[in-house]
Amino acid sequence: MTKRIVVALGGNAILTDDPSAAAQQQAIQQTAQQLINFLAAGDVQLVLTHGNGPQVGNLVLQQLQGSSVKNPAMPLDTVGAMTQGEIGLWLADALNYEISIRGLSQRVATVLTRTVVDEADPAFRQPTKPIGPFYTVDELPAIKQQYPDWQFVADAGRGFRRVVPSPKPVSIMEAAEIQALVQDGVTLIAGGGGGVPVIEKEGHVTGIEAVIDKDFTAAKLAELVDADELLILTAVRYVAKDFNQPSQTMIKRISVTEMQQLVDAGQFPAGSMKPKVEAAISFVRNTGRPAVITSLDNVRAYLADGDGTVIVPD
């Protein structure tokens, strides 16, 4: 029986210190070399989604720096669509190449995805989603002076990043098309960057300036396609309790209620591990199926014996 897994790829699967197209394509090719192990097993179907935080922030800067009356910068939702398209293209090309050299027969498709959000979502009043490059303490004053309306937060000890609203996904507009492709056995890339955030009002669909966290969209996508498991790939092998403290412990298997207690105790930082954990909790509670958080370079161990942080129903 084929096992259907929704995989959410973190930014480290796409972007290195070199933001050029060639470097990102190389990083994605290395990611595809890990992902192909799922398809080579022969009994796994993948539905992939990915982040776009670094890319969307960098592209916003390019847009603003080149903006003019005749060639104005595009709004954030449109820039999100652009990055969803570029990463979806690169990822599909990389997977097609790996499929070809392995002699496999899977088909790959990328669906530009619009994600419906609630205009009244409190996230619009409290931005939390980091996008774009990191800034040092010394660089921050100049960038604040250049863009006084932007908000910044310290990001996991790596510097400061701009934050934008990150509303929760309500539904996916391309749901029927995604379901049809998945039922047809396609290896699907959808909901990239969380999807393009839109609101529906009186029959009209309008983009809105925000970036949806891809992990929450991945959980929604996993429910939509009746996935057997949600797998969130990030930079670390395990979720940690008391991260970076002398009492730090790695979480390998935990019930959904126990994990929620850790969230409520403030164990995980917003904009970093917290949305991953909350998205995993949502999937487990809504489906009664497990969710796993681990690193991309741990995929072989995950496939061999389920290694990683596994969140299970009570």
- Give catalytic status of residue 288 as yes or no: no
Catalytic pick among 10, 12, 194, 220: 12
Active site includes 276?
yes
Q: Is 11 a catalytic residue?
A: yes
Q: Please say if 252 is a catalytic residue.
A: no
Q: Give the per-residue SS3 of the chain.
A: CCEEEEEEECHHHCCCCCCCHHHHHHHHHHHHHHHHHHHHCCCEEEEEEECCHHHHHHHHHHHHHCCCCCCCCCCHHHHHHHHHHHHHHHHHHHHHHHHHHHCCCCCEEEECCEEEECCCCHHHCCCCEEEEEEECCCCHHHHHHHCCCCEEEECCCCCEEEEECCCCEEEECCHHHHHHHHHCCCEEEECHHHCEEEEEECCEEEECCCCCCHHHHHHHHHHHCCCCEEEEEECCCCEEECCCCCCCEEECEEEHHHHHHHHHCCCCCCCCHHHHHHHHHHHHHHHCCCEEEEEHHHHHHHHHHCCCEEEECC
Q: Which of 10, 193, 276, 308 is catalytic?
A: 276
Catalytic residues: 11-12, 129, 214, 276
